[in-house]
Amino acid sequence: MSPKEESRIETKQQGSPCPQNATAKVIFTYAIEHLSKTDKVRFYYALKGRDGKTGIVKQWSIEQLGRAVLLVPESHENDVRDFLAFWKCAFNSRRVWLV
């Protein structure tokens, strides 16, 4: 990698301004290994919905990128943090820009 490329990557990681026409999102990764089987089912019902009730994924326009990875609109970042804290899930988050 050239020094110019390294400099550009470092600038992006340090919080450069939002690119034009980009949407702010937050990627959450979480762990549910600590939950019992019953609580895992309840967690996923709350996440995805059941019996005509809407889960947070649909309610807050969240995209599920993988088994334990969520792409969340920036406006619902605190809501998802509270949701995962309620379930006592360990999680990491990273703010990203989608063009």
CATH code, 42: 3.30.70
Mark the ranges of the chain whose per-residue pLDDT is less than 50. 1-2, 4-11
Largest Cα–Cα distance in the chain?
Answer: 55
Domain with 94, as residue range(s), is 19-98
Decide if 13 is inside a domain: no
Decide if 47 is inside a domain: yes
Decide if 12 is inside a domain: no
**pLDDT score for 51:** 82
Distance CA(46)–CA(54), nearest Å, equals: 8
**pLDDT score for 17:** 65
Decide if 8 is inside a domain: no
CA distances (Å), origin 57, targets 16, 26, 66, 76: 29, 14, 13, 11
